[in-house]
Structure 1
Amino acid sequence: MAIQKSISPIDGSVYVERTLADSEAIAGTLEEAVKAQQAWKNTSMAHRAEICRKAVSYFMDHAEAIGEELTWQMGRPIRYTANEILKGFKERAEYMIGIAEESLADVEVEEVPGFQCYIKRVPLGTVFVVAPWNYPYLTSVNTVIPAIMAGNAVVLKHAQQTPLCAERYAAAFEYAGLPAGVFQYLHLSHEQVASVIQDSRIDYVAFTGSVAGGKAVQKAIGERFVVAGLELGGKDPAYVRADANLEDAIENLVDGSFFNSGQSCCGVERIYVHESVYEPFVRGFAELTSTYRLGNPLESTTTLGPMVRTSAADFVRQQIADALSKGAQALFDSETFPADQEGTPYMGPQILVDVDHSMAIMKEETFGPVVGIMSVKDDEQAIALMNDSEYGLTASIWTSDLEAALTIGARVDTGTWFMNRCDYLDPALAWTGVKNSGRGCTLSSLGYESLTRPKSYHLKKNVQ
């Protein structure tokens, strides 16, 4: 039997061990999902909502314990982890439950005498959700709850780093009284994930992860006529105009750059600042960043924990070294954050200036606590640099001019365009990316479209 071990970044200990599902268990899970979905799709919307709301209440009741589990599994400071449940998870789940009936209602068409015609939105069948470790509940809830509300069955595969998240979902749905088989989880290897995707009993794949992972999902689908929703990488830019409120921009962009040790697909990784406000912006940005406390995430005073693993921190350090070798300047030295130690996942935040797009730090996804800040002369240069990326998940502008924000936003290739905000998902808006940031969307009423298919009814009445 193959064993999966989850190594805690806190101290390098084995926090969770799980046995990977074998072929018999996988087949049984998929077969049960298919059978359970046949009955579940015929339940009322009110009944689905009642069960899903009760499942959400389970998460609220256990938020503190879930938060501590998260800290051990992926290293985010304990002062923040429960909020993934109490705020973001709750907001998204409740919103998607609340709009389900309207979003899934029949589409009426122009009435023709003697006919009844309409379009139903019917569930796809079994939805396979492959979720990441960095925001394990916030990413998975985008699909799990609406998929079940739409009448589908769900099989969840969580990252090796966060297997307890999948088990928490199972406990929540059992508590809520969801019929057996409608929600299930599997602990799988990468090879097993591919085999599940290739199985004819899977009708849709929702994947959140790297570009390489997205390509592997697409390859696994092969010649099957199913679709995968892919939320992949990001290299999200921010542009601070001359008319920006600098205090507000600094406060939000520091948080957007370094929260969760920068391990966020929509975290801010590069900042372009108008030359007239560049120096005060950088000075304020560095002052605020220096107040972070790197250390043991189980301590309530810690504001920055370890990265998920040492190899991830090493990758970020390599990007920094590459930038320094090409002329960039680092604003913090090794004494600024004493807990920052080479050869460990503990890495303090870093700010690089004198950067340009010849450096990987400004072009390639970093996924760590470092940001490059670059001076620009005008809007045109900022737009060109923001678009000079293979990614397009989110981008933000910091300005007091709404019309300028709209004009510039229309020219930036991105899934979400923020003004005076960053690193946030409003569940009423479609969460989507362009270019190598993926395809498809979750959240909002549009998020239900990928979890259903249209079925047209063309009924001729009163035939003698």
Structure 2
Amino acid sequence: MSQRLKCISPIDGSVFAERDVLGFEAARAKVAKMRAAQAAWAARPLQERTELVMAGVAAVGAMNDEIVPELARMMGRPVRYGGEFRGFEERASHMAAIAQEGLADIAVGEDATFKRYIKRVPHGLVLVVAPWNYPYMTAINTVAPALIAGNVVLLKHATQTLLVGERMARAFHEAGVPAEVFDNVFLDHDTSFQLIASRSFDFVNFTGSVGGGQQMERAAAGTFTGVATELGGKDPGYVMEDADLDAAVDTLIDGAMFNSGQCCCGIERIYVHESLFDAFVEKAVAVVRGYKLGNPLEPETTLGPMANVRFANEVRAQISEAVAAGATAHIETFAQDDGGAYLTPQILTGVNHDMRVMRDESFGPVVGIMPVKDDAEAIALMNDSEFGLTASLWTQDLERAQRVGDQLETGTVFMNRADYLDPGLCWTGCKNTGRGGGLSVIGYHNLTRPKSYHLKKVTK
């Protein structure tokens, strides 16, 4: 009897969707068909591939009225925020616009005797394993440039957002991208790892937990399959004494709480210069007290449930442990907090790095805030983490932000903004956040391999 994947809605705990998984042999057959189609897809003109991908993106956009409530039911994001299509289209459009540049040959030199250059050629079959928290945007980060570069792509989506990959595949197929070039698949973990270990793929892009990334790398060990990972985060914000306080509060607290704190680059810890600390905390508490926790299908809801009860329980545990160790919780329990997926957002002070809430990934609506006396203390605290995805600096001094940023162990440095992915920049991390880089020209380089040409001309 085949295994079923079930998406449990955080709204009420009901089964929202379920699908049968594909067995190993059936998956291998799909892989073989896609491999057979790759050369013909790569042989199509770059402009043709790009136009087909962008037609697929537009077809996803045409489904947005259905997608928005569907996402609310699957993972709890309030419908008032309108889904992900704006960012989905922005990222794909940018990668389409820079494709010629990103995939251009690198000229090394030509004279009467030799012509030398380096081509960018597609890996072949790319497996994209996408997460549930921003299921469309995280998937398109790799799907669009991989297809444009001439790869064929198999998408495996998280069970919590079970229908996303299916929708994307249907939209792209309707737009003219063949099913053998881009498709969705439902797999269990064991089959996924077995496929990777048997060298079914030429490149794997995984976004998820540290443990999941480690399993991906173990499965690929010895196959020489490239594995790119974006894993956990504990992103810091640092508010310097010359910061625009209101802007810092609004942006950092939104970065900590939006999507119920379930953001890869969400703000999970904030360090504030001691001269602004009390004012920052007072304003932050006022912002969070104004949130409306509730059913994400209701337009007045600003904070929905967490995607799964177990995620909410982990956040509750981190908060309880911190309070027991001396931290102060500033937000009274909301009436809508049911002890399950619906969780009161929380601001903590009196925290330190001995507490899990300041060390472990929370991935929920909680943030700890600490005072600091200067840049040196802030830098030491920001770097005191096993993760390194983004860091947000708040100051009016650009050169100071650059100096501080140069000393941070992170993938992206923001100044006076946070929690945003600019497709013109490489999306990357360090330490336990993983390795690799998506989007930008570097994204194309990672989704292709270099092939050198050293051509000696026949001369008489």
Coarse TM-score class (shorter-chain normalised): over 0.9
> Which among 334, 348, 351 is matched to residue 352 of structure 1?
348
Tell whether the 8 Å contact from 1:348 to 1:369 is kept in structure 2 after alignment. yes
Question: Partner of 1:110: helix, strand, or coil?
Answer: strand
Match of 1:203 in 2: 202
- Separation (CA, whole Å) in 2 of partners of 1:18 and 1:223: 32
Residue identity matched to 1:248: A
Task: Determine the C-alpha separation between the residues in 1 that align with 2:199 and 2:250.
Answer: 49
Q: Which letter does structure 1 place at the counterpart of 2:69?
A: E
State the one-letter code of the partner of 1:56.
Answer: V
What is the Cα deviation at residue 23 of structure 1?
2.1
What is the SS of the residue equivalent to 2:160? coil
Matched residue SS, 2:418: coil
Could you say which residue in structure 2 is the equivalent of 1:361? 357
Moved more, 419-428 or 163-172: 163-172
Q: Which runs of 5+ in 1 are unaligned?
A: none
Q: How far apart in 2 are the matches of 1:368 and 1:266?
A: 12
Match of 2:337 among 337, 340, 343: 340
Tell me what 2:429 maps to.
433
C-alpha RMSD of matched pairs (Å): 0.9
Alignment equivalent of 2:394, drawn from 398, 420, 434: 398
Alignment of 1:145-224 (within 5 A): 145-224=144-223
Q: 2:374 & 2:199 partners in 1: Cα distance? A: 53
Aligned to 1:5: 6
Summarize the alignment of residues 57-136 of structure 1 with structure 2, pairs less than 5 Å apart: 57-82=58-83, 84-85=84-85, 87-136=86-135
Deviations 1:410-430 (A, max 9, x none): 001100000000000000000
- How far apart are the structure 1 equivalents of 2:240 and 2:314? 31
Q: Within 2, Cα distance between the matches of 1:451 and 1:368?
A: 32
Offset, 1:463: 4.6
String of CA shifts for 1:301-327, please: whole Å, max 9, x gaps: 000000011111011000001101110
Quick one: distance in 2 between partners of 1:390 and 1:369? 20
Whether the 8 Å contact between 1:309 and 1:345 is mirrored in structure 2 is yes
SS at match of 1:252: helix
- Does residue 382 (structure 1) correspond to residue 378 (structure 2)? The answer is yes
Indicate which of 395, 401, 408 corresponds to 1:412: 408
Q: What TM-score, normalized by structure 1, do the two folds share? A: 0.98
Alignment pair present for 1:305 and 2:301: no
Q: Note if contact 1:9-1:72 (Cα within 8 Å) is conserved in structure 2.
A: yes
Instruction: Classify the secondary structure of the residue corresponding to 1:258.
Output: helix
Distance (Å, rounded) in 2 between the aligned partners of 1:180 and 1:323: 50
Which position in structure 1 is the counterpart of 2:448?
A: 452
Identity of aligned residues (%): 53
Matched pairs, number: 459
The answer to whether the Cα contact below 8 Å between 2:323 and 2:329 also exists between their aligned partners in 1 is: yes
Find the aligned partners of 1:3 and 1:289 in 2 and give their Cα distance: 39
Shift, 1:62, TM fit: 1.2
Letter aligned with residue 58 of structure 1: A
Q: Show the 5 A alignment for 1:266-285.
A: 266-285=265-284
The answer (yes or no) to whether the contact 2:99–2:148 under 8 Å persists in 1 is yes
Q: Which residue of 2 aligns with 1:255?
A: 254
Write out per-residue CA displacement over residues 416-457 of structure 1, whole angstroms, 9 at most, x where no aligned residue: 000000000000000000000000000001001111111111
Checking the alignment, whether the CA contact within 8 Å between 2:305 and 2:343 is kept in structure 1 is yes
Secondary structure of 2:237 counterpart: strand
Pairwise CA distance, 1:201: 2.9
- 2: CA distance between counterparts of 1:398 and 1:365? 22
Gaps of at least 5 residues in structure 2 are none
Shift, 1:409, TM fit? 0.5
Q: Distance in 2 between matches of 1:111 and 1:284?
A: 63
Distance in 2 of aligned mates of 1:46 and 1:280: 54
User: Equivalents in 2 of 1:199, 1:89: separation in Å?
Assistant: 32
The CA distance in 1 between the partners of 2:377 and 2:269, in whole Å, is 14
Alignment of structure 1 residues 21-40 onto 2, 5 Å: 21-40=22-41
C-alpha displacement of 1:404: 0.9
Q: CA deviation at 1:24?
A: 2.7
